[in-house]
């Protein structure tokens, strides 16, 4: 997911749409908590390495 897409400010002016949005987030959180989201196995086409903490800063050259 691109960083710009989830850092963008969104203004919902219609209260009906705001309520629908909150309901959708709540339902999604409930499903996630119950483990109802299907996770299908996937095959990766490239090697990968998980980076955590300081490794992320080092990867991007942040000092």
What single string gives the DSSP state of each residue in 9-59? ------HHHHHHHHHHHHHHHHHHHHT-S-------SS------THHHHHH
CA distances from 57 to 5, 11, 48, 61, 62 (A): 22, 32, 17, 6, 5
Q: State yes or no: pLDDT of 17 exceeds 90.
A: yes
> What is the CB neighbour count within 10 angstroms for residue 36?
9
Higher pLDDT, 24 or 63: 24
For 31-61, the pLDDT digits (tens) are: 888 877 677 888 889 888 888 888 888 888 8
pTM over 0.85: no
């Amino acid at each position: 997911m691109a960083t710009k897409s989830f850092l963008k400010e969104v203004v919902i002016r219609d209260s009906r749409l705001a309520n629908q949005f909150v309901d959708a987030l709540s339902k999604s959180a409930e499903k996630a908590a119950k483990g109802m989201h299907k996770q299908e196995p996937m095959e990766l086409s490239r090697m990968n390495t998980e980076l955590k903490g300081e490794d992320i800063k080092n990867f991007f050259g942040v000092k």
